[in-house]
A and B are shown apart, each in its own frame.
Chain A
Amino acid sequence: MELQPSHYPARRAAGVASACINYRRGGPNRVLALSNVRRAQLQGHAVNCTAEVLYHLGSQHSAPEVHFTVEGELGKNPDEADNKFYSRIKSLQEPLVAQNIPDSFGIVPPEMEPIRHLAFSACDYIIWQNSTENTWYNLAQIRDVRQVRRNDDYLEFDYTVLLHDFVSQEIIPWQMQVLWHPQHGVKVTQNSRQPKQED
């Protein structure tokens, strides 16, 4: 059955595909975002991408399956920006701590941009794993992030993010433990949904 590209079912599925792809290929200096239902956009270069999204129906929720092919090379080699970010964080005296990114006014301090991109990538794992035909998630804000010091080569961050589900309009706090390495990419080692803020 053909889906209308301008109607929401196609749009939501594309969001899931985009999430999966950004989790696999995103990082502190690279964000893949849905441009329109025929393309995925890599930091300003439009890249053609075909994806198949299979929602598993049934009582037990399991993550939608995504099979994708991307035209051309996204470039997996760690670039200069990644290495710079890595060195900067490794050499911090105190572990990095920050809140409210972006702030109420949409401001992101420039040195926090890689932290934010990393959050997009890691968040997209959570979005991909928890999506259904009746959800449409976006990362609304990083409520707080703290670096966790490690003895090995990885950088580790403990994030609490706010996800916005467009369908229910709910803001859902979510905790996630994120590892990153310039060569090995992003990994979410632990994540848990948090209780809603009571007002």
Chain B
Amino acid sequence: MPSDQAARSQASIKEQLLRHQVLRISMANEAQVEKMRELETMDHLQLDFWVSPSHPERPVDVRVPFTSLQAVKVFLEQNNIQYFILIKDLQRLVDDEKAQMVRQRSRALSVETFNYATYHTLNEIYDFMDLLVAERPNLVSKIEIGYSSEGLPLNVLKFSTGGPNRPAIWIDTGIHSREWVTQATGVWFAKKIISDYGKDESLTAILDKMDIFLEIITNPDGFVFTHTQNRMWRKTRSINAGSSCRGVDPNRNWDAGFGGLGSSRNPCSETYHGPHANSEPEVKAIVDFVKQHGNIKAFISIHSYSQLLLYPYGYTKTPVPNQKELDSIATAAVTALSSLYGTSYRYGSIITTIYQASGGTIDWTYNQGIKYSFTFELRDAGRYGFMLPANQIIPTAQETWKALMVIMEHARDHPY
């Protein structure tokens, strides 16, 4: 009987992809890109865009169910849009080794089948967020806290088991867009939280008392730019008045020692602080959120690379009042982190461990009274730097999670 069932489910997979075609579509200009976006909204066609229409240089791959083929081809031909058939019959692919590639490339149908061991685009990650919320609506919700310079939504996932305004933990990844391992670990953290709630005693205890906010793509404009134009882009993409150079360093734009040493007033610089504090909508959105919420107890901002765990301050040598406490949390966190794969981290205040930096995130959050404010610099130590191979995403996420748990447990057990 089990083999019967297996045969039946194999057959149904085949039926789903039988005679589906994948078309590769080339758009000649912006108007055609617009037409493709129109096509994308036609839900009744049940199209599966492997690559979303973004600009003329980038061909679009679409899986088209058999029943929609004629309609789609007519639409393309009427609009003079070039295409060719990339895959003639998807069902045949399921039978051979390329099935693996298809499953990886096509839009994940569930949180379970999403590929955590690869780097994703903005669209893929935003889709993942919606999948997460759809699967666990009682645990996860999505909040839009604002818009980027170029109009992309700033999405934050809220993990909550109730309460009107519980004390909360904030985690952000991807504030510097080229630090790709961070957005990837953010995605993994989201999955980890929903997997472990109800199973892991400690995380369950955290979520029974506190909420967790997770902003995975904190700098979406920059992130898109690293995919389309320049893999090494760090800053936002705001336009700087009177300069041909764009972007502000979002980790120098906060109102803590703003404009001081360790930031630049040159718009072309990677550490340009911006015309004034909170000039960047990506930063202002978090500032407004934190102030409005009023009950955030731990704030963790994640960067790469160089394997460090840092606490404030970056803008001044004056130690924070609870330096001893932060240092002992860091010791425990780093020990937990390295217990998994032996990855060695250094830790300390920003200004002694890495460099003087003013206008930084956790200096501001600390001064708001969030006394458990930390920054991570994830793998590696410089061998691959920003271009960390994808096979290190999951190990990095796993070890970092151990350190995060130490910090979150401390916040849970030391309410203030």
Instruction: Let me know if B44 is at the binding interface, CB within 8 A.
Output: no
B355 & A167 in contact (Cβ 8 Å cutoff):
yes
Instruction: Let me know if B119 is at the binding interface, CB within 8 A.
Output: yes
In the complex, what residues of B have CB within 8 A of residue A167's CB? 355
In the complex, what residues of B have CB within 8 A of residue A11's CB? 346
Q: Which interface residue of A140, A166, A167, A169 has the most chain B CB atoms within 10 A?
A: A169
B232 & A162 in contact (Cβ 8 Å cutoff):
yes
In the complex, what residues of B have CB within 8 A of residue A102's CB? 384, 387, 389
Known: A7-B352, A106-B390. A168 touches B269 (CB 8 A): yes
Q: Which of A1-54 contact B (CB under 8 A)?
A: 4, 6-8, 11, 33-34, 36
A7 & B271 in contact (Cβ 8 Å cutoff):
no
Q: Which of B233, B271, B354 contacts A168 (CB under 8 A)?
A: B271
Question: Considering the chains assembled together, what is the distance between the CA atoms of A104 and B181 in angstroms?
Answer: 11
Question: Considering the chains assembled together, what is the distance between the CA atoms of A4 and B346 in angstroms?
Answer: 12
Instruction: Let me know if B395 is at the binding interface, CB within 8 A.
Output: no
> Smallest CB–CB gap between B110 and chain A, Å?
24
Closest B residue, CB atoms, query A12: B355
Q: Which of B341-399 contact A (CB under 8 A)?
A: 344, 346-348, 352-355, 381-390, 392
In the complex, what residues of B have CB within 8 A of residue A196's CB? 268
Interface residues of B, dominant DSSP: loop
A170 & B270 in contact (Cβ 8 Å cutoff):
yes
Closest A residue, CB atoms, query B118: A105
In the complex, what residues of A have CB within 8 A of residue B226's CB? 104
Instruction: Let me know if B400 is at the binding interface, CB within 8 A.
Output: no
Q: Which of B246, B348, B386 contacts A140 (CB under 8 A)?
A: B386
A140 & B385 in contact (Cβ 8 Å cutoff):
yes
Closest B residue, CB atoms, query A199: B230
Interface residue count on the B side (C-beta < 8 Å): 39
Closest A residue, CB atoms, query B347: A6
Q: Which of B269-287 contact A (CB under 8 A)?
A: 269-271
Question: Considering the chains assembled together, what is the distance between the CA atoms of A138 and B271 in angstroms?
Answer: 18
Instruction: Let me know if B231 is at the binding interface, CB within 8 A.
Output: yes
In the complex, what residues of B have CB within 8 A of residue A168's CB? 269-271
Question: Considering the chains assembled together, what is the distance between the CA atoms of A105 and B392 in angstroms?
Answer: 11
Instruction: Let me know if B234 is at the binding interface, CB within 8 A.
Output: yes
Question: Considering the chains assembled together, what is the distance between the CA atoms of A102 and B387 in angstroms?
Answer: 7
Known: A6-B353, A36-B344, A199-B230. A105 touches B269 (CB 8 A): no
Q: Which of A140, A170, A199 contacts B387 (CB under 8 A)?
A: A140
Closest B residue, CB atoms, query A120: B383
Per-position 1/0 for B99-119, Cβ under 8 A of A: 000000000000000000011
Instruction: Let me know if B244 is at the binding interface, CB within 8 A.
Output: yes
Instruction: Let me know if B306 is at the binding interface, CB within 8 A.
Output: yes
Instruction: Let me know if B3 is at the binding interface, CB within 8 A.
Output: no
> Smallest CB–CB gap between B251 and chain A, Å?
9
In the complex, what residues of B have CB within 8 A of residue A6's CB? 346-348, 353
Q: Which of B230, B387, B392 contacts A197 (CB under 8 A)?
A: B230
> Smallest CB–CB gap between A74 and chain B, Å?
19
A140 & B234 in contact (Cβ 8 Å cutoff):
no
Question: Considering the chains assembled together, what is the distance between the CA atoms of A4 and B349 in angstroms?
Answer: 13
Instruction: Let me know if B292 is at the binding interface, CB within 8 A.
Output: no
> Smallest CB–CB gap between A40 and chain B, Å?
13
Instruction: Let me know if B229 is at the binding interface, CB within 8 A.
Output: yes
In the complex, what residues of B have CB within 8 A of residue A162's CB? 232
Instruction: Let me know if A175 is at the binding interface, CB within 8 A.
Output: no
Question: Considering the chains assembled together, what is the distance between the CA atoms of A162 and B384 in angstroms?
Answer: 12
B387 & A141 in contact (Cβ 8 Å cutoff):
yes
A170 & B389 in contact (Cβ 8 Å cutoff):
no
B230 & A33 in contact (Cβ 8 Å cutoff):
no
Question: Considering the chains assembled together, what is the distance between the CA atoms of A168 and B231 in angstroms?
Answer: 18
B388 & A106 in contact (Cβ 8 Å cutoff):
yes
Q: Which of B226-277 contact A (CB under 8 A)?
A: 226, 229-234, 244-246, 249, 268-271
A residues lining the B interface (CB < 8 Å): 4, 6-8, 11, 33-34, 36, 102-107, 138, 140-141, 162, 164, 166-171, 196-199
Nearest first, the 9 A-B pairs at minimum CB distance are A106-B389, A169-B270, A138-B382, A106-B387, A102-B387, A104-B231, A171-B232, A6-B346, A7-B352
What are 9 A-B pairs at a CB distance below 8 A? A33-B383, A104-B180, A140-B385, A140-B387, A168-B269, A168-B270, A169-B271, A171-B270, A197-B230
